[in-house]
Every structure is written in C-alpha cells, then in structure tokens.
C-alpha cells in the first residue's frame, strides 16, 4: 500500500508517522507543502506538529497551503486521509471534517497517555480492532477540545461517525475520563463516507512495546486488510 505524508513547516511528527508506516510495510513518500503534485497513493497522512507555528489558529495556515488543494481533491475522490493531532486540526480548517478543536478545557498543553474506546470498527481504519476495545494512546496538544453544532453532533452519533471516544482504563466514558473537554468525549471523527479520519491521539506513538505499547498498530494494519 502506498502512503504519502505531507510535511508542513513546523510539522514535527512527520518522521514518527513515516517510521511507523514503513515499519508496518507501507511504501511511503514525504511531500513538501510547497509541492503542487501528489504522488499516487492510497493513504494521505497529515501529521502532528505545529504547522506554521500554529500562528493565527492551529491548522489555519496549513489549510491554505498549495498541497492542500490536491489533498482535498484526492479526498473527494475517495482517497483515504488520516489527520493526527495537528493533522486533525488542519482537516477541520479545510472543511473536510466539520467542527473545530478548541483550547483544552484546563487551558494547558496536555501530554500524557489516555484511553480511548473503539466505537465503530466497521470501516477501513479500524477493522482490526474489536468493537468496544479499550486502547491506550498518547495525546500531546493544546487544542484538542472537539466542538461542533448540536445538529452535527447528533449526526455524528446517529450515523456512527465517531470511531474513538475518551474513556478510562475499564472503558467507562465519563466526564472524568475526558482529558480536554471534547463534546461527548470525542477523540476522533469520520466524514460521511468514512474515508477521512481525524483524531487527536497519536497512534504512531504506540507501535513499539519497547517505547510504549502496540495499541496503535491495528489502525495501520486495518488499512492493509
């Protein structure tokens, strides 16, 4: 499977995601933000980091970069797109995903391991997870507090477009297990067609037991299925 990682000035998880993809047998290409051509690929990843320093608003400037036009085109043609952390923020800024990521409820950067529950495994990204499986992933963000209109929130729930919700070790989804104040404990969402996934936790940080755990592996291997 071919993957492409878009590198913005200020991206800082580009090397990590590329390393994880290659480890899991993707043929990966890095593409610079000033480029105007995307190589043919099955998966486009917008990595974490602080694109353009997160100046103006997280993801706002990256959403206007050259290469994003191509990403939007590919996404609309059905190409799989994964936005992690800053990548999720960029996806909401482009409008490929609805809603916004506000400042964390405690107004501080949060860097720690959290738990999420796999809520929908009937899709390209999550088919190797078990339904309701609890995963331990890492978050590291200032703005991860997902917010959207009540209509859209209802739509997300009704159409089962929320693959991951923050929970505790046992899988309980509550205000206590919500690290950043996201509506309905949302850690990630799909678009309608479920070919675009945006999520705040970093699955690429969880692909090696020596470093952390391997709860992130199945997100990538699901795509190979």
Partner 1 sequence: MKITNTIVEKHGLKPEEYSRIKELLKREPNFLELGIFSAMWNEHCSYKSSRIHLKNLPTKGNQVIQGPGENAGVIDIGDDDAIIFKIESHNHPSYIEPYQGAATGVGGILRDVFTMGARPIALLNSIHFGSPDHPKTKTLLNGVVSGIGEYGNCIGVPTVAGETKFDSTYNENILVNAMAVGHANKSKIFYSKAKGLNKSVVYVGSKTGRDGIHGASMASAEFDENSEDKKPTVQVGDPFTEKLLMEACLELMKDKSIISIQDMGAAGLTSSSVEMVSKGDLGIELHLDKVPCREDGMTPYEMMLSESQERMLIILEDNKEKDAKKIFDKWDLDFVVIGKTTNTNNLTLKFENKTIGEIPIDALTSKAPLYDRKWTKTRLPEKKIDIKDLKKIKLEDALLKILSSPNQSNKSWVTEQFDQMVMTDTTQRSGADAAVIRIHKKEKAIAVCVDSSANYCKAHPLTGGKQIVCESWRNLISVGAKPIAITNCLNFGNPENPKVMGEFAECLIGLKEACEFLDFPVVSGNVSFYNGTNKKNIDPTPVIGGVGLIQETKNKINHFLKKEGNIILQVGKTFGHLYQSIFFKEIYSINEGPPPDINLSNEKNNGESVLKLINKKLVVSAHDISSGGLILALAEMCLPSGYGLKIEKPQKLSNLMEYYFGEDQGRYLLEIEPKDLLNVRKILNEDNIFCELVAVIQKDYFEIKDEFKININDLFRSNNKWYNNY
Residues within the interface to partner 1 (CB under 8 A): 9-10, 12-13, 15-16, 19-20, 32, 34, 48-50, 52-55, 108-112, 138, 140, 142, 202, 204-205, 207-208, 210-212
Catalytic residue among 79, 85, 126, 167: 85
CB 28, min distance to partner 1, A: 15
3-class DSSP assignment, residue 23: helix
* 204 annotated active-site: yes
Residue among 114 and 186 whose Cβ is closer to partner 1: 114
| Core vs surface per residue 175-200: b (16+ CB within 10 A) or e | eebbbbbbbebbbbbbbeebbbbbbb
Closest CA to 88 of 212, 217, 203, 211: 203
* 202 annotated active-site: yes
| The dihedral sign for the CA sequence 157, 70, 225, 203 | negative
Distance CA 20, CA 41 (A): 17
* 85 annotated active-site: yes
CB 212, min distance to partner 1, A: 7
Residue among 20 and 199 whose Cβ is closer to partner 1: 20
Residue among 165 and 205 whose Cβ is closer to partner 1: 205
Residue among 107 and 150 whose Cβ is closer to partner 1: 107
Distance CA 25, CA 91 (A): 25
Distance CA 14, CA 79 (A): 19
CB 126, min distance to partner 1, A: 21
Catalytic residues: 85, 202, 204
């Amino acid at each position: 499977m071919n993957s492409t990682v878009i590198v913005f000035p200020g991206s800082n998880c580009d090397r990590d995601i590329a390393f994880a993809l290659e480890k899991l047998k993707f043929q990966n290409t890095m593409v610079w933000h000033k480029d105007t051509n995307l190589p043919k690929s099955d998966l486009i990843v917008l990595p974490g980091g602080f694109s353009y320093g997160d100046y103006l608003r997280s993801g706002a400037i990256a959403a206007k970069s050259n290469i994003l036009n191509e990403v939007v085109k590919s996404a609309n043609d059905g190409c799989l797109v994964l936005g992690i952390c800053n990548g999720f923020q960029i996806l909401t800024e482009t409008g490929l995903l609805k809603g916004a990521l506000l400042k964390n409820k405690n107004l501080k950067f949060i860097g720690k391991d959290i738990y999420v529950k796999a809520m929908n495994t009937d899709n390209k990204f999550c088919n190797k997870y078990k339904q309701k499986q609890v995963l331990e992933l890492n978050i590291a963000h200032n703005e991860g507090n997902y917010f959207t209109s009540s209509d859209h929130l209802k739509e997300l729930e009704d159409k089962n477009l929320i693959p991951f919700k923050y929970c505790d070790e046992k899988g309980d989804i509550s205000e206590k297990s919500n690290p950043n104040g996201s509506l309905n404990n949302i850690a990630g969402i799909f678009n309608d067609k479920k070919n675009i996934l945006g999520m705040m936790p970093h699955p690429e940080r969880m692909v090696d037991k020596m470093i952390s755990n391997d709860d992130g592996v199945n997100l990538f291997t699901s795509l190979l299925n």
